[in-house]
Amino acid sequence: MVDRVFLITGASSGIGAATARAASREGYKLVLAARSEARLAGLAQELGPENVLAVGTDVTDMAAQQAMVEQALERFGRLDVVFANAGRGGSPGGFSGADHQAWRDMILTNIYAVGLTVQATLPALRKSHGHVLITGSAAGRATIPGSMYGATKWAVTGLGYNLREELRGSGIRVTLIEPGMVDTPFFDEPPEHALHDRDIAEAVLYAVGQPEHVDVNEILVRPRPPLDDD
């Protein structure tokens, strides 16, 4: 049997790390990419260094992404699943008063970097008839006053739809993962009535685990609304 290889960006914490743990339990070889090399090293040690390649990567840099893919192919010989998960939030203030530099960094990470991940990994995925998953958001399906973050996730939704059309007939599946509120390091204070990162990891593994003739286009996951007596 061929060892299947699962690449995750934004893998050092939150949804990315939870997905790495879930994929490891399913027997995948892992390529874990993030800026924080120290966190990646700790996660690789936890999951078994012989099965994990940890790559410190600036996802907004195409050369860094290409180097990530080259290292993955040199180590494992193939890519089967790519989870473009890296993302970041913005700053308060809405369109009237938010930090415009924070906007720039967020747009580059949430949109441009996703495109780079897709472009860098597609040659390998075409060979394996693999699977692309992209972290969108419930915010990409709703109107949120003053939210540039929400606007980036609308763009990610469009990216996922348009990528699927480009790859129609290629054998590559494309899935948008769209979480609602998730309790991750994304927030300074833990949100109430939120999902856990492992809930989203399970959604990712559900999509990946379907038979080849099944293409899960989108998974929108929201926390259950609180009960009256919660």
Q: Is 149 marked active-site?
A: yes
Rounded distance, CA 34 to CA 20, Å? 12
**Which residues are bridge partners to 56 per DSSP?**
34
Can you give the pLDDT of all 230 residues of the chain as single tens digits? 579 999 999 999 999 999 999 999 999 999 999 998 899 999 999 999 899 999 999 999 999 999 999 999 999 999 999 999 999 987 889 999 999 999 999 999 999 999 999 999 999 999 999 999 999 999 999 899 999 999 999 999 999 999 999 999 999 999 999 998 887 666 556 667 788 999 999 999 999 999 999 999 999 999 887 777 65
Q: What is the pLDDT of residue 129?
A: 97
Q: What is the pLDDT of residue 115?
A: 98
Rounded distance, CA 48 to CA 150, Å? 36
Helix, strand, coil percentages for the chain (3-state, nearest 5): 45, 15, 35
Rounded distance, CA 84 to CA 114, Å? 6
Q: Which of 112, 149, 161, 206 is catalytic?
A: 149
Antiparallel, parallel or unpaired: β 52-56 and 182-183: unpaired
The pTM score is 0.93
Contact by Cβ (8 Å): 140, 178: yes
Q: What is the pLDDT of residues 23-45, one digit of tens each?
A: 999 999 999 999 988 999 999 99
